[in-house]
Chains A and B, each alone.
Chain A
Amino acid sequence: MRRPLLCLLVGVATSTAARAQSRPVAATVVLDSAVQTKGARKPVVILRNLLNDDRWDQALDNSLPLVVVYTLQTWRSRDNWIDEMVGETMWQTIVTKEPLEEEYTVTLVVGNRLQRPRRFAVRDSAMQYLGLPQRVELFPQRAGRFYYNLTTRITALSDRDMDQLERFLAGDPDLDIPEPGTAVGRGVRRFLLRIAGLPSQVLEAKSPQFVVQPDE
């Protein structure tokens, strides 16, 4: 019993210094190594350093849940002409921290469906899980040269959004409803969120191109 306790104390003491050196969060999209029929490739999304980034780590420490919204678009490249977007899919990861118990919860929401939350007793386990590659089960069905474009939006929620999140986790669907209301309402809301000092970050990434062969 002493050994785990000792190393935990050493870890906590020294991790403060470690966390002082913040590493920025980064998102990438690469191609799955498995090649599908006719050369299609599935996208694999990787989010790094979410909890190594001071902004997000502090937000979690302040009991603000983090919402990571991934928007993955499939694009067909048309040389010398405008690229064509052929598909789009979204999912999100919600990270919360129970401050008294130092417990992290990671919930995946795919297409309005809540996956079973994953709970982690320590930060590094949560960080490791959040950094796992996410393979998206889609690929283009027709012939052409394609690539994936990933937009990752990370936000910390306001108190109002916290209520909304809690209601959503309790079965209410509001979180996934597109922002309602007038442009003024939405603009004012965003403005207030900014005034509240809540961070928000958008990351973009693009995959290498791949070619899907036509039917023979």
Chain B
Amino acid sequence: MGRRSLGLLAMLACSSIIAKAAVAQDSVVVIQPDQTGDTLSQGHLPVEVIRRIIATYNDSTTTRIAGSFTLPAGAHLEGRVAVYRGTLRVYGRIDGAVTVINGDVVIGAGGLIKGPVLVVGGRVDIRRGGVQDGEETAFDPLAPVFRLPNGLLAFKERRKALSDIAAARTSFQTGSINTTLSLETGRTFNRVEGLPIVFGPTFATQGPGTVDARLDIRGIFRPATDRTKLRDDVGFVIGTDWRGGGKRRWLGFGGRAYRQILPFEEQPLSKGEAGWSAFLLQRDYRDHFEARGAEGFVTAEPIRRLRLGLSYRQDHERSVPTSDPVSVFRNQDAWRPNPLIDDGDYRTAKVSLDYDTRNDPIRPSAGWLIHADVEQSRSTDASPVSLPATIRAPIPTGDYRFSKLRFDVRRYARLDPSSRVNLRVTGAGWLSGDPLPIQRRVSLGGPDILPGYGFRSLNCAPNGFVDPAQASLCDRSLAAQIEVRTRLPIGIPFRVRNADLAAAQQILGIEQAELVLMGNAGKAWLTGDGPGRVPNNRIPKFNEWDADIGVGLDTGGLGIYVAKAVAASRSMRFVLRLQRRF
């Protein structure tokens, strides 16, 4: 019984005097999840609902109430009523629509609401003797809105991401139309455009009935100077998107006209990572071309998480040269040339499928992600780049047709609470018709799919073919990836030797890091008959594939990996990723 015990006893004795009533009655805290049972919870507040509550609250004919409000017995309110951040208790009568934003509605004994009730960020509680006569809709997630000094509500933007730092946006409401003016970067950096600046308005409305409409008008300013004057300094995308089909908005259609710079392939790095690589290290891992044209599309979601799409576009695709934008390091080096493409007018029909059951789009640990699309293109005026016959037979003049398939299947699964396994099979390439144009050809090698191999080291370039642009030349590619992730049991602290910092501040570290063991295998090849080619109706034997294995540390987005090719005598390669591999 030392000093410590005495102190504790004294504290307990005193606290029992002061706070006995507050605590003694509790023996257990009951956590009532929104969704009981064994299904994964999904919280979602449709954007159109947010727009609707803002429009309702801001309507001059609405009776606005900020904070809790009680309508006493015998009192009568007529017309629309909207409450923001408070509980509406009704013991009297309301004739009209009631909207409660981030609060509850309680209809007490004798209370009556004759009209629809919409509650966002709260619940409807009808007590014994209370009556609600009309449609009742409630969304549990809080509405991301805030009150302006003039008493009106406005949509609250989420905190700005790093890519939004140089962005400016403002929104205002005119009737049922919400207008957003924005000025931002193109969220990437490349050797053709530099850092593109995107600007223009977006008009969005909740249309009559169950249709939402959206119109985007975007100008694109390209600050990097093109000394050859082959590309324009300004591009644009004007698009409209209509969605309908009940609350689920399962049907969509729209169209767009565009003049923009597009990448050949979406690998070996994501758009953001490729931008950082180019900006910092003068290594642009993507190739680009300019597309000018128009597209129409229809999408449908017959069941949740499954989206089918059909589109048709007609555009002029043409080569664009490398500019010389500034990079932080290696600025004195020359950029890798941007490959020439097979310029021409192309008409392309595309069918796509997307199926996404992942539990988290950023850090998934369970579910499927499937994407597949088939596109068929034709051109009557394609102007092909000259390639060795070992790569591509001459493209026919007059009527040039080809089709291409792309697919990406990912499976995320947990092995146990702290380990998971992720699998991916991805492929792309020629399906039928004439040989693919340059801008549709594929390759492997690089940080994403085969990190043990150098950038485009598997691009099907024949021996002796010198191409500083390192263009992708293969007809087809196929790759499989597996990774096992194990959460490390301890954090990794680093001590900072700075006496000016407090002791606690001298520690910084990584927590929740994951150890990643990975294996990758893939093959990119030329298809058809002839030496060095694989017949159209088969894929290369697995023992002909290139493979690598590696290990990495993912610290929650920032990842460091080391990979070594298995089937070739190549040195180890280090890769820094700014997001999960897949």
Q: Which residues of A contact B (CB under 8 A)?
A: 4, 7-8, 10-15, 17-18, 21, 44-45, 55, 58, 73-75, 82-89, 91, 108, 110-113, 118-125, 128-129, 132-142, 149, 151, 164, 170-174, 176-188, 190-191, 194-197, 199-202, 204, 206
Contacts and interface: CB of A to CB of B under 8 A. Distances in A.
Given A122-B19, A185-B161, A172 B121 contact: no
Contact of A183 (B38, B121, B502, B557): B557
Interface string B20-49: 001100111111111111111101000000
B556 A112 contact: no
Given A14-B7, A85-B366, A87-B39, 7 more contacts: A13-B7, A18-B8, A44-B28, A82-B414, A113-B34, A124-B19, A134-B31
B38 A89 contact: no
A178 B362 CA distance: 10
18 contacts: A11-B7, A14-B10, A18-B8, A84-B414, A85-B366, A89-B31, A111-B41, A134-B29, A140-B38, A171-B146, A174-B159, A178-B360, A178-B362, A179-B362, A184-B272, A186-B556, A191-B508, A197-B507
A181 B163 contact: yes
B40 to A, nearest CB: 6
Contact of B415 (A7, A82, A191, A196): A82
Contacts of A18: 3-4, 7-8
Nearest to A81: B415
A202 B18 CA distance: 33
Contact of A120 (B22, B32, B360): B22
Contacts of A129: 22-23, 26
Contact of B14 (A122, A149, A201): A122
Nearest to A62: B504
A183 B417 contact: no
A178 B141 CA distance: 13
Contacts of A191: 508
Contacts of A112: 34, 43, 121, 140-142
Nearest to A91: B31
A184 B162 contact: yes
Contacts of B23: 120, 125, 128-129
Nearest to B85: A171
Contacts, number: 245
A112 to B, nearest CB: 5
A187 B558 contact: yes
Interface in B488-537: 491, 496, 501-502, 504-512
A134 B26 CA distance: 11
Q: In the complex, which of the residues B11, B18, B507, B555 has the most CB atoms of chain A within 10 Å of its own CB atom? A: B11
Nearest to A155: B511
Nearest to B270: A183
B54 to A, nearest CB: 15
A183 B159 CA distance: 14
Given A75-B417, A82-B414, A87-B38, A14 B3 contact: yes
B351 to A, nearest CB: 31
A111 B558 CA distance: 29
Given A14-B7, A171-B102, A171-B142, A89 B35 contact: yes
Contacts of A17: 3-4, 7
B6 interface: yes
Contacts of B35: 89, 111
Nearest to B276: A184
Contact of B509 (A73, A138, A194): A194
Contacts of B38: 74, 86-87, 138, 140-142
B325 to A, nearest CB: 19
B159 A180 contact: yes
B304 interface: no
A121 B18 contact: yes
B26 A83 contact: no
B29 A10 contact: no
Contacts of A135: 28-31
Interface string B406-442: 0000000111111001000000000000000000000
Contacts of B43: 111-112
B6 A14 contact: yes
Nearest to B158: A180
A184 B416 CA distance: 28
B13 interface: yes
B543 interface: no
B7 A10 contact: yes
A183 B140 contact: no
B102 A187 contact: no
B358 to A, nearest CB: 13
A180 B30 contact: no
B14 A7 contact: yes
Contact of B161 (A86, A181, A199, A204): A181
Given A134-B31, A174-B159, A182-B161, A83 B557 contact: no
Contact of B558 (A121, A151, A183, A196): A183
Contacts of A151: 417
Contact of A122 (B15, B85, B418, B558): B15
